[in-house]
Amino acid sequence: MASIGFLGLGIMGKAMAANLVKAGFDVTVWNRNSAKCAELVALGARQGTTPKDVAASCDITFAMVSDPEAALALCQGPNGVMAGMGAGRGYVDMSTVDDNTSKTIAGLITQVGGRFLEAPVSGTKKPAEDGTLIILAAGDQSLYDDVKPAFEVMGKMSPYLGDVGQGANMKLVVNMMMGGMLSIFSEGMSLGQKAGLDGQQILDIVDAGAMANPMFKGKGAMLLNENYTTSFPLKHMQKDLRLAVALGDQLEQPLPTAAIANEAFKQAIKAGFAEEDIAAVYKVIK
Q: Which of 247, 278, 279, 280 binds a second copy (CB under 8 A)?
A: 247
Nearer to a second copy, 70 or 222 (CB): 222
Closest contact distance (angstroms) between CB of 121 and a second copy is: 11
Phi, psi angle pair for 123, to nearest 5°: 130, 155
Closest contact distance (angstroms) between CB of 266 and a second copy is: 5
Closest contact distance (angstroms) between CB of 165 and a second copy is: 9
Order of strands, sheet of 133-135, starting from the edge strand that comes earlier in the sequence: 121-122, 133-135, 155-157
**Does residue 86 sit in helix, strand or coil?**
coil
CB 142 within 8 A of CB 110: no
Number of residues that bind a second copy (CB under 8 A): 76
Of 181-210, binders to a second copy (CB under 8 A) are 181, 183-185, 187-188, 190-192, 194-198, 201-202, 204-206, 208-210
CB 185 within 8 A of CB 216: yes
Stretch touching a second copy by CB under 8 A, among 77-85, 86-94, 107-115, 166-174: 166-174
Does 269 help bind a second copy (rule: CB under 8 A)?
A: yes
Evaluate the CA torsion angle 233, 234, 239, 243 in order and state its sign: positive
Does 275 help bind a second copy (rule: CB under 8 A)?
A: no
Does 35 help bind a second copy (rule: CB under 8 A)?
A: no
CB atoms within 10 A of CB 106: 23
Does 71 help bind a second copy (rule: CB under 8 A)?
A: no
Closest contact distance (angstroms) between CB of 150 and a second copy is: 18
Q: Which of 82, 264, 278, 280 binds a second copy (CB under 8 A)?
A: 264
Does 262 help bind a second copy (rule: CB under 8 A)?
A: yes
User: Which of 52, 171, 219, 283 is the catalytic position?
Assistant: 171
Residues in contact with 26: Cβ distance below 8 Å, sequence separation at least 6, in sequence order: 2, 3, 4, 46
Cα–Cα distance for residue pair 43/168, rounded to 1 Å:
33
Cα–Cα distance for residue pair 3/61, rounded to 1 Å:
9
Closest contact distance (angstroms) between CB of 194 and a second copy is: 4
Instruction: Provide the pairing of β-strand 133-135 with 121-122.
Output: antiparallel
Element (H, E) at 52: helix 51-57
Does 278 help bind a second copy (rule: CB under 8 A)?
A: no
Residues in contact with 178: Cβ distance below 8 Å, sequence separation at least 6, in sequence order: 215, 237, 278
Of 209-238, binders to a second copy (CB under 8 A) are 209-215, 218, 238
Does the active-site annotation cover 171? yes
Stretch touching a second copy by CB under 8 A, among 13-21, 51-59, 60-68, 245-253: 245-253
